[in-house]
C-alpha cells in the first residue's frame, strides 16, 4: 500500500480519536469531525487520481456537499445547546432534560 494512503488514514484515525475523546467543550468534537471529513476528502481525491478511474472523481464533490450540510446541522445543535445552557460544556448535558 502506498505510503501516502497510510499517512492520510493515520490522519483520519487521529481525528476519530479526537472526536470520541474530549474534555469539556462540545465544539472540539465538531472540529475533529471536520478534520475527519477533510482527511476522507483528500483520500478520495488522491485515490481517484491515482487509479485513473475518471468516473469516481465525482465522489469527493458529493462528499463535500454532504459535509457542508452536516457541519451546518452540528453548528445548529451547538447553538441550541448554547441557548439553553449558556456554554457548551459536556457536563451539563444531563441537566434539565427536555
Binding site for other proteins (CB under 8 A): 16-17, 19-22, 26, 29, 90, 93-95, 97-98
Closest approach of other proteins to the CB of residue 10, in Å: 14
Nearer to other proteins, 4 or 17 (CB): 17
d(CA 37, CA 43): 10
Closest approach of other proteins to the CB of residue 1, in Å: 15
* Number of alpha carbons in the 13 Å side-chain half-sphere of residue 84: 14
Nearer to other proteins, 19 or 48 (CB): 19
Nearer to other proteins, 21 or 72 (CB): 21
List the beta strands (DSSP E) in 1-98: none
Closest approach of other proteins to the CB of residue 93, in Å: 4
Nearer to other proteins, 31 or 59 (CB): 31
Residue 95 burial (CB < 10 Å; 0-12/13-18/19+)? exposed
Q: Cα–Cα distances in Å, from 10 out to 1, 2, 22, 81? A: 13, 13, 19, 32
Amino acid at each position: 500500500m502506498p505510503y501516502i494512503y497510510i499517512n492520510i488514514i493515520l490522519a483520519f484515525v487521529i481525528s476519530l480519536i479526537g472526536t470520541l475523546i474530549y474534555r469539556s467543550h462540545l465544539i472540539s468534537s465538531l472540529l475533529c469531525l471536520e478534520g475527519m471529513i477533510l482527511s476522507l476528502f483528500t483520500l478520495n481525491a488522491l485515490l481517484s487520481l491515482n487509479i485513473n478511474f475518471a468516473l469516481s472523481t465525482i465522489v469527493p464533490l458529493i462528499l463535500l456537499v454532504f459535509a457542508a450540510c452536516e457541519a451546518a446541522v452540528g453548528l445548529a445543535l451547538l447553538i441550541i445547546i448554547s441557548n439553553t445552557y449558556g456554554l457548551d460544556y459536556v457536563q451539563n448535558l444531563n441537566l434539565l432534560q427536555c
